[in-house]
Structure 1
């Protein structure tokens, strides 16, 4: 099993190179030579850094643009176990930011005063 945490930040070519390497070494044509590869991370947070390029290049470098992406089953965790119930408003705010629904009509996000 290969585990990669922070997968939303890696360029799509990284797992493609690992896949090619494993196929060449093991002489097997299954994705990742049949090994289980687990990718972790919040895919709403950080895209890979692509220097001196435009938005389309950044989106194209995202791992979800990889030809291998359909081979990854997706699991979604719905409970944040690291945050206590006393912070439910803050948790909801962070989810709205991640979902792109926390901004006003002008695209601005106002931080709740009690969390500053």
Structure 2
């Protein structure tokens, strides 16, 4: 996983680009573009060579400036199993 500074750089770049089109978009996260992050951010941590636990957690995306403006969606159904018939599911 990338550190928070990588995502903040993309955020800043999109704000700058979209701010040139419309000044109101300079204050909107990611310049009002939809950005999808996938994964379990508690399990996928950035790699910091010889970093302590607090340094690793401090670099995670959940510590980024824009995280409080992110809408988190949780999966509720396993889409792979939903379309399979009962004969396809076997517990060997």
> What is the TM-score of this pair, normalised by structure 1?
0.59
2:58 & 2:89 partners in 1: Cα distance?
38
Q: 2-side partners of 1:54 and 1:18: how far apart?
A: 26
1:21 aligns with 2:19: no
Aligned residue pairs, count: 80
1:36 aligns with 2:34: yes
* Whole-Å separation in 1 of the counterparts to 2:90 and 2:76: 17
Inter-partner Cα distance in structure 2 for 1:10 and 1:85: 36
Report what 1:51 is aligned to.
Answer: 49
Q: 1:22: how far off?
A: 1.3
Which ranges in structure 2 are unaligned for 5 or more consecutive residues?
20-25, 82-87
Unaligned runs of 5+ in 1: 1-8, 88-113
Higher strand share: 1
For the aligned residue pairs, the C-alpha RMSD in angstroms reads 2.1
CA contact (8 A) 2:41 2:61 kept: no
Of Structure 1 and Structure 2, the greater helix share is in: 2
Q: Does 1:81 align with 2:79?
A: yes
Higher relative contact order (CA 8 A, sep 6+): 2
